[in-house]
A and B are shown apart, each in its own frame.
Chain A
Amino acid sequence: MNNPDNFTSELLVNKGHSPGQLLQLLCEIQTHYSHIPPHAIELLSGHLNIPPVQIRTVIDFYAFLHRDARGDFDILFSDNITDRMLGNLSLLNSLCKKLGVEPGVPRADGRVTVGLTSCTGICDQGPALLINGMVVSRLDKDRIHKMVGLIEAGIPIDHWPKAFFLVDDNIQRRDKLLSHGIISGSAIDAMVVKGSDALLKCLDGSGLRGRGGAGFKTATKWRMCRDAEADEHYVVCNADEGEPGTFKDRVLLYSFADCVFEGMTVCAGIIGAKKGFLYLRGEYLYLREALEKTLQARRDAGHLGKNILGKQGFDFDIEIHMGAGAYICGEESALIESLEGKRGIPRNRPPFPVTSGYRNQPTVVNNVETFVAAARIAVFGADWFRSAGTEESTGTKLLSVSGDCARPGIYEYPYGVTIRQVLEDCGAIDTQAVQISGAAGATIPVQEFYRKIAFEDIPTGGSFMIFNQDRDLLDMVQNFSHFFCHESCGFCTPCRVGGTLMQDLVDKVMVGHATSYDLQEMRNIGQIMQKSAHCGLGATAPNPVLDTLEKFPGIYSSRLVNRSFEPAFDLDASLEVSRHITGRDDEGAHIRHEK
């Protein structure tokens, strides 16, 4: 092993001494050493002029960064509800048993760690895991068995079978966006020819709204940013696709990357940005190499860099920044904080990023799909785009379909498609419910399957998870409440504490300890979170609980204890420590509850 100082020093030479690079440097150091050693912190502190404590707080914020060494093989099982439904936990247990390792604790020889992580965006090809940052898809007993052999033999993952790391696009239905390709450079050419004002008008006329889910009008955002006077303007592509059950950006970044960058370049031309960022979630590290190549090809073709397409003064380039395991960084102001190398705590707003974003300069942050749509619109025009969709929701939407259906994958539909139609097309039968828009979204029961995917009915960033009649929806609720607890940034009281109280109450229902009083308590806490949280994560975190309490009361009531009050203290659970110490788990080591 190199001297840590050498590796970090070299990095600092290559990447420069800007404090904004902190997170990027930490990601590289983590990859190299499987943790951030103390002397690396010291070195970074000196060169970047950041107090050591601040560097430590950044490390502690991101789930993929560690102060203590992980194993040489650092394995994280994706733990979305869809991974659970595909049996990820039994595979994890079997891997741990075979390797002789406890979840979350490095093996004594330092060879391996095994743990869990939030949804990795491989829901259509799960269960999945990350090993040293790279995705292994389609896990089964056989694959786990082979992995054990490779790990014990100490074979680096570069030499593992390529099939392990295959992730297919899995596009099941194409519409306007995915079937009409554009020639590289044609959208920026259209802008140079028509002029940026005309193109902004065209975008306005198309009715394009943000594809991340909130649905702000794209042309309005770009105009506000352009009109904000400042030294610099920035374009940011939000590729932090962290919403559980969403994976459409993975496909766009893999097979339509050139168009994503084209859209960003069009935006840069309109708002006057010289610099753009693609903020790529840590889970998608495996896409980075190809993305860098696409960027280089665009530079070589004169589509990025100085005087783009020969137009004097049209200078723009794009840098890829990695995330490191923090769902909250999908929130645009937290994403900007993260881009600046800090903890991803959402900012107070106003001011909004369009007037004060990256380095407090006007910044456009848009979803991957939005940039692809914008590039297409620049070439094909507003009418082409408007001819699909509804009056308020023009164009098409990519859905990431997973869960109980015959054909999971990417489905592109014109806005206005009904839930029933999607279920039919993907071969879902005997469906109990669909969770739309991820963990913070809406749980849709059978009687609402006539409803439409559209901003005016059910808006979504693209997550579409299907649950058949055999599923216990409380498993989903529990998975999501634990997810939100894990991903809460901890800044505000209602999300940090309320989210934990909520999680504990869901657990209490799950083990059959809760009473009707506890359900009312969950409603109250949910309302406090909705009313007082600092950002969208905290305000929407109680949604799965509140939604299912209303629409699926049976999953709760069937488990209630028939008393008005039941203490939170669980006598049997509290004996767990003693059972662990004594190695006993027989009947006599338990106190059974009368139901």
Chain B
Amino acid sequence: MSTEKTFRLDGRDIPFIEGDTVMDAALRAGEYIPHLCHNPEFPPHGSCRVCVVDVNGRHQCSCTLPADENMDVDNSSEAITDVRRSLLQMLFVEGNHTCPGCEKSGACQLQAVAYNTRMLNPHFTHFFPKRSIDASHPEIVFYYNRCILCGLCERVSRDIDKKSVFAITGRGINSKLEFNSLSGKLGDTELSADDKAASVCPVGAILPKYKGFEVPIGERLYDTKPISVVGDVAANHSAEDSVLGNADEYSSDE
């Protein structure tokens, strides 16, 4: 172990291997770095910027930054948490995130990461965009209000399911998710509920139909333990499970 390469993260030596990003090495070593668009199963993306860390005085995105010796990474100071909290607040005001009315509440990664940064309010002026719901698919419903444009469904549908059902279109603040069908409706795409893309959404934008409150509030994924302990929504999802998952099965990792 003594020849192992390491970098410093919050004063701790984190071992890494060639090709690791800072995020890869940190997660493997049990150090949680908040993230939304990143899912360790897939190549890094780097769009949400929530995983920003301070590396030797420079702000960098840890999910795309190759690990290197001589790195001194700040992942937990008040300064770095302030940046993350602001980014989360931006995501909250950009869409319409009414947690109390959302089926995903308690098992939502956006909500859980917000708690992780001790976010107590949205701070910025709400955009209150007019967004719709696409319920044309027999098994899946899509809520534009909750989409945070992380691009996971797009990447997974293209690279894993080989269907390219989802794609982000538009530009700037007018970016939005679009579906691969002539009508533009989700129901006319090849999406199936078994697709990997149907279960990677970190928020409540893509949800299965006809399932509601199967796990009661208070017993949901992040209701008893924080995301830094429980891990991502997608990592807690298995075939038998509903999208909402159950924290108890995974608490043995602690």
Interface residues in chain A, defined as those with a beta carbon under 8 Å from any beta carbon in chain B:
38, 42, 51-54, 56-57, 60-61, 63, 326, 348, 350, 485-494, 496-501, 504, 524-525, 528, 531-534, 568
Contacts and interface: CB of A to CB of B under 8 A. Distances in A.
B49 A494 contact: yes
B234 interface: no
Q: Which of B46, B49, B66, B127 has the most CB of A within 10 A?
A: B49
A501 B172 contact: no
B170 interface: yes
Interface SS of chain A: helix
Nearest to A486: B172
A489 B174 CA distance: 9
Contact of A497 (B50, B90, B167): B90
A487 B125 contact: no
Given A53-B167, A531-B83, 7 more contacts: A57-B167, A488-B172, A490-B149, A496-B172, A497-B91, A531-B59, A532-B52
Contacts of B166: 53
Interface stretch (B136-144, B175-183, B218-226, B238-246): B175-183
Which 10 A-B pairs give the minimum distances between C-beta atoms?
A: A490-B175, A53-B180, A497-B90, A488-B172, A57-B169, A51-B164, A531-B59, A568-B125, A348-B64, A60-B169
B108 interface: no
B94 interface: yes
B83 A532 contact: yes
A492 B49 contact: yes
A489 B52 CA distance: 20
B53 to A, nearest CB: 10
A490 B49 contact: no
Interface of B: 44, 46-50, 52, 59, 61, 64, 66, 83, 86-87, 90-91, 93-94, 124-125, 127, 149, 164-175, 178-182
Nearest to B79: A531
A173 B179 CA distance: 54
Contacts of A534: 46-47, 49, 61
A533 B46 CA distance: 10
Contacts of A524: 86
Contact of B87 (A488, A491, A528): A528
A486 B127 CA distance: 16
Given A493-B48, A493-B91, A497-B91, A53 B178 contact: yes
Contacts of A532: 49, 52, 59, 61, 83, 87
Nearest to A489: B171
A314 to B, nearest CB: 36
Contacts of A57: 167-170, 178
A491 B61 CA distance: 14
Nearest to B88: A493
B125 A490 contact: no
Contacts of B64: 348
A255 B180 CA distance: 46
Nearest to A538: B49
A496 B175 contact: yes
A115 B219 CA distance: 54
A38 B171 CA distance: 20
A516 to B, nearest CB: 17
Contacts of A38: 182
Contact of A500 (B91, B168, B173): B173
A494 B46 contact: no
A568 B128 CA distance: 13
B48 A492 contact: yes
A60 B171 contact: yes
Q: Which of B178, B179, B181 has the most CB of A within 10 A?
A: B178
Contact of A494 (B90, B179, B181): B90
B173 A528 contact: no
A398 to B, nearest CB: 30
B86 A528 contact: yes
16 contacts: A38-B182, A53-B164, A53-B165, A57-B170, A326-B171, A348-B64, A492-B48, A493-B49, A493-B50, A496-B175, A497-B173, A498-B90, A499-B173, A501-B125, A525-B86, A532-B87
